[in-house]
Structure 1
Amino acid sequence: MSTANTAKLKEQFDAGLETRADFTIDQPTERYGAVDHAVWQQLYARQTALLKGRVCDEFLAGVDCIGMPPDRVPFFDEINAKLTPATGWQIVAVPGLVPDQVFFEHLANRRFPVTWWMRRPDQLDYLQEPDCFHDLFGHVPLLINPVFANYMHAYGRAALAANDAGALPLLARLYWYTVEFGLIRDAASPNGVKIYGAGIVSSKGETLYSQQSAAPNRLGFDLERVMRTRYRIDTFQKTYFVIDDFTQLFGVTQTDFAPLLAKLAAEPAFAAGDVLKRDRVITRGTQEGWQTDGDI
């Protein structure tokens, strides 16, 4: 997702990179050192091995189609040479998390902002802000899938309207529970689900937790339910929402959001771990290890 004026973003601005009005930069490939490439290589090898049998087929097909180099940080022009002809999307380099309005304008124009810098070796398992590996490996493979690519484009347009209407938190929850931490039905997999969300596929711990742990809830996707549900940014998720397929996800974008946002803005939010009587419960969590506060 996005935010404004983070400490990391200020650090990047202070580094002297020329930043345009839309927060894009030229990918500073000359700034990648041996450590950056080694971190990419380690993360890429670990996650591609771990995700086999756990992530949805569409994600793996995207990884194969795009052909990211396993041993170095990819050059964004190389990615765009495969991505743009397939779905009209392109990735653009940014210094870090960007303001919401800017982020949504990029999505609405089929541009996905990708942070240029790589995490340090001591940050392999946890990083407060998205880096190049999260943005590129986590998000981009599905952008070569036409149905998911269209969902992201439509989401950007809807989010711009929501931002103008002051209803951004509702759309932020939709992004969080689909693009970042979404699961998809697969009857043959543990707990009947596979992974597609970028926040999961780029994380070893959340990959295992989201699919195999007994602690979280796994609930059938429902648009209004998702938009009223708080989430966690500091721990693994208490609840994951499960789509049937990507066609269902794209169907969400056919919604007339204006009256829905007006309706939901007056409704109370649900806690991240709530299970309601009307929910389609795939697995009810044991709540082991849950924190009692911190939902946003």
Structure 2
Amino acid sequence: MTSDTTATAIASGTWTLGDRTVHRIGFGSMRLPQTGPALRPDAVPRDREQALRVLRRAVELGVNHIDTAAFYFSPLRSANELINRALAPYSDELVIATKVGPARGIDGEWTEHARTPERLRAQVEQNLRQLGRDHLDLVNLRILGTDSVAERFGALAELREAGLIRHLGLSNVHAHQLAEAQAIAPVVCVQNPYGIGASAEQDALLRLCGDQGIAFVPFYAIAGAGRQDGAGETEPAQIQAVARAHGISAAQVRIAWTLHRGPHVLAIPGTGDLAHLEDNIAAGALRLTAEELALLDEAHTG
């Protein structure tokens, strides 16, 4: 399944984010502003026209769920502004999800997370300006640690009531934080690190979301422990075997396995390369056999 340009995101099936229906294979924009490792002050900006082509091609191939953040930027390039330039005026079918909490200065260095209602509102307004929107489809509150999310999520719930945000989600959270947020306002998705080799806690949270009809949106599903630096370690033998059997990449196997974890699981693989984009989307059409899933589950629990 190499660069099958006939495969579209439609083949991955659909799920709902609140009242919005999206294809289960989407696009993550973290890698779009730069080449190489992301989220670094010294990142090398990606060619602007290439980034715009990738975004437009993703939508041509049926992607209608794009994940972004105002802190996704490199010198000269901002993911939000690239999305605005490439895709505005936006289709009614397109859902753009962003996240708030983390912050970077104009020099690219990380600063303290936004924790007050004032700072969170400022981040929401920054996303609105950069994307050229009068409201945000979905805002995920990204958390560090295990402390209470009530004040921060409550501040976003107020912005939802004011019409600036349509739906709310959580990112990098634990089960008790999800329950705390749900007592304040509806949570339509949980966006957590997940993929082959993820912890038992993340498996349990994925199942909990499925039981409650909440979308579970893994990030770093391909990169694993490499996180924003990307995949770098040798792939387990089980992944290599499935990849050889289908004539595809290990990354495509990882995406397909993730989607097989439940109908509520969405994928948002990111890339700045057209060929990789088409491969990622094609992975949404891959159907793994019970034997292949059992083999990959060995690598997962391993």
Report if TM-score (shorter chain) is over 0.5. Answer: no
* TM superposition score normalised by structure 1: 0.28
Structure with higher helix content:
1
Structure with higher strand content:
2
